[in-house]
């Protein structure tokens, strides 16, 4: 059974909400509309799991009260995995371009072209699914102790248990115990899976809590 793909639309113009909802529901998407960024935030506090699920947020740049970019910034601080598509007026293009630099997937100028809308939503959902997977790997990696992270780094370098033991001044048996614990904590059955996890999180090590001590690679 395929995952439900939820779309959230935030715009202070009721006619925009109605037209976008009509088009997207016609394509089989599940939608929910909000007339302000504040309303979406209040709702998300009661449904926090939706922020880290696969989904798309269609967001107006300019609204009374909190603007779209402010909401984008707040969501990024929560590690939200929602793909964001901005709606802009003619004069808001520079603002939308800046939003792209901050991680938005796309922006659409009003009035919104249906073909462009559907393409942007599709791309946002693809991005969201990939980001959700990345966050899952990062969350798993953060469960490892500093020693386990060091061992994983060396395993990814192709080192044997004995080579790792010599590098870290521990016994080969201790390395084996750490490897077994890592596989258990991560829910992984093989070295290949653990190495794949490391290759996926390596570009983001600077963002991860308590990064491991750097090891001199030979």
CATH 3.40.50.2300 range(s) for the chain read: 6-132
Strands (E), the chain: 6-10, 30-34, 55-60, 83-88, 106-109
In tens, the pLDDT along 92-114 reads: 778 888 888 889 999 999 999 99
Question: Which superfamily is assigned to 6-132 in CATH?
Answer: Response regulator (3.40.50.2300)
What whole-number distance in Å separates Cα of residue 96 and Cα of residue 107? Answer: 6
CATH 1.10.10.10 range(s) for the chain read: 142-207
Mean pLDDT of the residues in the chain:
89
Per-position b or e across 11-34, b if 16+ CB within 10 A of its CB: bbeeebbebbbebbeeeebebebb
Look up residue 87 and give its DSSP letter: E
What whole-number distance in Å separates Cα of residue 83 and Cα of residue 196? Answer: 24
Would you call the peptide bond into 125 cis, given omega within 30 degrees of 0 as the criterion?
Answer: no
In tens, the pLDDT along 199-215 reads: 988 888 876 655 434 43
**Please, are residues 68 and 9 in contact by the beta-carbon 8 Å criterion?**
no
pTM of the model: 0.79
* Overall CATH class of domain 142-207: mainly alpha
Identify any residues that bridge with 56 across adjacent strands, giving them in sequence order.
7, 83
**Please, are residues 8 and 32 in contact by the beta-carbon 8 Å criterion?**
yes
Q: What percent of the chain has pLDDT over 70?
A: 92
């Amino acid at each position: 059974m395929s995952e439900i793909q939820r779309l959230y639309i935030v715009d202070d113009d009721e006619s925009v909400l109605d037209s976008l909802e009509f088009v997207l529901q016609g394509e089989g998407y599940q939608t929910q509309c909000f007339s302000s960024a504040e309303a979406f935030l209040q709702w998300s506090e009661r449904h926090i799991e939706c922020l880290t699920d696969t989904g798309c947020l269609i967001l107006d740049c300019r609204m009374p009260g909190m603007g779209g970019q402010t909401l984008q910034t707040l969501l990024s601080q929560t590690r939200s995995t929602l793909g964001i598509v901005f709606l802009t007026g003619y004069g808001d293009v520079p603002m939308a371009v800046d939003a792209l630099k901050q991680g938005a997937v796309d922006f659409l100028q009003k009035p919104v072209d249906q073909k462009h809308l559907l393409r942007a939503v599709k791309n946002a959902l693809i991005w969201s699914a990939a980001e959700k997977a990345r966050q899952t790997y990062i969350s798993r990696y953060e469960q490892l102790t500093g020693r386990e992270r060091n061992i994983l780094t060396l395993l990814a370098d192709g080192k044997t248990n004995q080579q790792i033991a010599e590098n870290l001044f521990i016994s080969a048996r201790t390395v084996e115990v750490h490897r077994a614990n890592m596989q258990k904590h991560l829910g992984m059955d093989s070295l290949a899976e653990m190495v794949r996890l490391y290759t996926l999180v390596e570009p983001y090590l600077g963002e991860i809590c308590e990064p491991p001590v750097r090891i001199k690679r030979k």
